[in-house]
Homo-oligomer: A and B are copies of this chain.
């Protein structure tokens, strides 16, 4: 089990979907950072279920309680523990999956590996485990703000519908105006229709989420096995349902020639910039001062009410399965909060690792 991420700014996540509580300990956050429960609650609310037609109807307040690490409303350098108690868990919905793994869900792997698996709501394999990411990410974001680093995640694709490029300011405004957290308002209606159509058929649909970090200084990343893009890829690929990660142009680069996509340098007002940002702000594993841009491919939520083939592990027999209950017809909008947090955690860790933030005391 490895439930800790980070080398200096370390997030240790715990808890399962239907257990008593879920949360995270953040160790390595320097002292003297202003921090309140509201700072974390605000981020948790972004991934909270049950807020609209496009997410699971499970009702959870996801109310954060900080039980350590804060003194006089500031961090004091000791581990910060954030806990969310589970409330609306309907474990009865899940008993039929005890021996029957849901297709494309983690159930089978967990059963094989650990033997004693809390199959209720996917246990710790549930998307609820990302509450730990968001608690860690909220604190990371506060820390990064002290260095004027900002991170934004938005939905750029649902099924085959892809957004057009917009400037950052527009994206930032738009995502707050629609439940899909899409940066391109022109496409929101058709995306919503697509999701509701799949939902009505007991199905779900995938998409793409882009995360952008601005204000990141040049010099983050530790070649050759602690590169910034590598660490971003690790945390992003580790989010449930993610099947692909791109930095900058990503797979588009494969089709190109160097003369087409090399990012050329120039100096303007004593600032070094590149005329394009096809590398997404990271070259050779080290940030170059341009915006960090990463995309993740999110597969359709595997829980669907359509009948599927599975097996009964106890009886060693084939068996059909239909997953009733509450699930997200498209998880992308809620994943934006998680990918934003994931990127924040990695950047906070690397800001500390590269000496841009003092490890003990930000004052």
**In the complex, A59 has a CB within 8 A of chain B:** no
A83 contacts B67, C-beta separation under 8 Å: yes
Q: Which chain B residue shows the least CB distance to A317? A: B267
A253-B67 CB under 8 A given contacts A3-B27, A218-B108: no
Query: A108 — which chain B residues lie within 8 A by C-beta?
Result: 218, 265, 272, 283, 288
Most buried by B among A83, A109, A306: A109
How many whole Å from A267's CB to the nearest CB in chain B? Answer: 5
Q: Compute how far the CA of A10 lies from the CA of B236 in the bound complex, rounded to whole angstroms.
A: 23
> How many copies of this kind of chain does the complex include?
4
Stretch at the interface among A74-82, A165-173, A175-183: A74-82
Chain B residues positioned under 8 Å from A270 (CB to CB): 316
A-B residue pairs, 6 tightest by C-beta? A106-B284, A2-B226, A109-B286, A230-B238, A234-B234, A233-B237
Contacts of A300 in B (CB 8 A): 253, 256-258, 260-261
- A236 neighbours in B (Cβ, 8 Å): 233
9 contacts between A and B (CB under 8 A): A14-B80, A19-B67, A31-B115, A101-B265, A108-B218, A110-B286, A125-B284, A225-B238, A233-B233
A303 CA to B257 CA, complexed, in Å: 11
On whether A103 and B253 interact (CB within 8 A), knowing A15-B68, A21-B67, A258-B300, the answer reads no
Contact with B along A175-207 (1 / 0, CB 8 A): 000000000000000000000001001011111
Candidates B27, B32, B306; contact of A2 at CB < 8 Å: B27
Task: Indicate which residue in B221, B238, B299, B316 contacts A256 across the interface (CB closer than 8 Å).
Answer: B299
Interface segment among A41-49, A50-58, A142-150, A240-248: the answer is: A240-248
Cβ-defined contact, A246 with B243, below 8 A: yes
Taking A19-B69, A230-B235 as known contacts, 16 extra A-B pairs with beta carbons closer than 8 A to each other, sorted by chain A number, are A1-B223, A5-B225, A12-B79, A76-B118, A78-B124, A83-B83, A104-B278, A109-B284, A204-B257, A233-B238, A240-B284, A244-B250, A244-B254, A251-B297, A267-B311, A355-B359
Q: Are A360 and B27 in contact (CB under 8 A)?
A: no
| B-chain residues with CB within 8 Å of residue A112 when the two chains form the complex | 218-219, 286
Query: Cβ of A222 < 8 Å from any Cβ of B?
Result: yes
B contact residues around A207 at 8 Å (CB):
254
CB within 8 Å for A27 and B1 given contacts A68-B15, A311-B267: yes
- Minimum C-beta distance from A291 to chain B (A): 15
Asked if B12 and A25 sit within 8 Å, CB to CB, the answer is yes
A44 to B31, CA, bound (A): 30
Asked if A137 lies at the interface with its beta carbon under 8 angstroms from chain B, I say no
| Residues of chain B lying within 8 A (CB to CB) of residue A14 | 25, 27, 67-69, 78-81
Cross-chain contact of A233 among B208, B245, B313 (Cβ < 8 A): B245
Contact B224 A264 (CB under 8 A): no
Complex formed: what's the CA distance from A275 to B311 in Å? 12
Taking CB atoms, residues of chain B closer than 8 Å to A198 are 257
Is A39 an interface residue, CB under 8 A from the partner? no
- State whether B67 touches A363 (Cβ < 8 A): no
Q: Are A251 and B244 in contact (CB under 8 A)?
A: yes
- Give the residue name and chain of the B residue nearest to A359 (CB): B355
Mark A267-300 against chain B: 1 for CB-CB distance below 8 A, else 0: 1001010110011100111111000000001111
Contact pattern, A 137-168, Cβ under 8 Å of B = 1, otherwise 0: 00000000000000000000101100000000
